[in-house]
Amino acid sequence: MEALTHFAPYTGWVYPNETVIEWSVLIVVYPYLTGLVAGAFTVSSLYQVFGFERLKPVAHLALLSSLCAMIFVPIPLLLHLGHPERAFNSTITPHLTSAMAVFGYFATFYIVLLLIETWFAYRTYFVEQAQRRQGLLGRAYRVLTLGSYDVSENAMRYDAKWIFYLALLGIPGAHGLHGYAGFVFGSLKSREWWSSDLMPVIFLFSAIISGVSLLVVLYVASCKLRKVTIDEACVKGLAYTIWGFIMVALLLEGLEFANLVYKGREGVEVIMEFVTGRLLVPYFILQFAIGSIFPLLLLSWMIWRKTTGRALIIGVTTCACLVMFSVFMMRWNVVIGGQEISKTGKGLLTYNMLTFGREGWILAACVLFAPLFGLIGLSRFLPPFEHGPHTAAVTSAR
């Protein structure tokens, strides 16, 4: 009965088993969240590993954002499964030739790495709060110290080295985590729209710009709420990062589309009909024109004019919101669009998104915004904008 709710009207000739679009909006949210994880961790690594001092105000915010998003990454997949408890079978009885099975171990490794790095980044804060606070919260901080109250200069230098090496190890970890999502789609040769060797790289670069854009919005909004001055150097650094990576992402996506058309393989006719017809607005207008090209031009103009002050903050924040929207549309056009093109290459299907239920857009929106509420709650316990001795130790250790 549930499959009937996913019935997709179609035009042309398709096989009977293609009348149901299996991967719904929840599978759109899944790679979007993994992209936020990789992008946010990239910003944290730019400071922790490469010493980009202008990104110091958002270094801890980036780390916590990556952690919160990573915690909720499996949720869309578990909700999509008919029996989510069976998801652990791939871990208990692994099949190493399956990319999805290997991903379970990879994701577990990465979330453990994030937890350890967060502990080292906040260890001196835990010690400070454990000695100052009483009651249940004080006990929680004392447990988190793991019995280590040493905050000497030598101990802090040791912590800084751990943070550096963990962040260094996390760079391929975070990027491989999201590159895997592109690998899954690109390796499916049965889908013309997905079958591309560039898919993992495109997913990776779009992930970076979405995570960096998220940090712009979070940082500006938090400064407004806390009524503190926004660090323009930090905003400029994030803007330069978006500007640089968005050009590469646009180039790669353009190459992928041109490559698909130029090959002239069987099925390209229906793809061109799909792109220039039904997908014209979400693909060319929303994803590229509004979400990518306009932010790129606006950022280029602000960089060229050396914009500062309120205009810089508003301009970069606007671009960040548009870029996040563009990346979401890219995920939508890949996941949903790839299934709307029949495997026969002779017909098109239509995805009817539900409102309620396990596959509805309301639940998908709740999952999409859940990391934000998780970050708000975690920030009460681990302040992302306090730069105490643990932060200074990282700088001195480089």
User: Mind listing the domains of the chain with CATH numbers?
Assistant: 2-397 (1.20.1630.10)
Residues 6+ apart with CB under 8 A from 304: none
How confident is the model over 243-281, as pLDDT tens digits?
A: 999 999 999 888 888 877 776 555 566 666 677 777 788
Strands in the chain per DSSP E: 10-13, 346-349
DSSP H or E segment with residue 103? helix 99-132
Could you tell me the pTM of the whole model?
Answer: 0.87
Q: What pLDDT was estimated at residue 263?
A: 63
Count of beta carbons in the 10 Å neighbourhood of residue 123: 24
For residue 268, give the amino acid letter. V
DSSP H or E segment with residue 186? helix 153-186
What mean pLDDT comes out for the span 344-352?
74
Is 28 a residue whose pLDDT tops 50? yes
Token pair for 331:
């995920």
- CA angle in degrees (0–180, nearest 5) for 259-326-231: 125
What mean pLDDT comes out for the span 287-301?
93
Tell me the pLDDT band of 87, cut-offs 50, 70 and 90.
Answer: confident
For residue 128, give the amino acid letter. E
Backbone angle region of 147, left / alpha / beta, with phi > 0 → left and psi within -120 to 50 → alpha: left
Q: Is the dihedral of CA 75, 79, 85, 90 positive or negative?
A: negative
CA distances from 200 to 43, 105, 338 (A): 20, 19, 15
Distance (Å, whole) CA 270 – CA 264: 11
Is 177 a residue whose pLDDT tops 90? no
How confident is the model over 181-199, as pLDDT tens digits?
A: 788 887 777 677 777 778 8
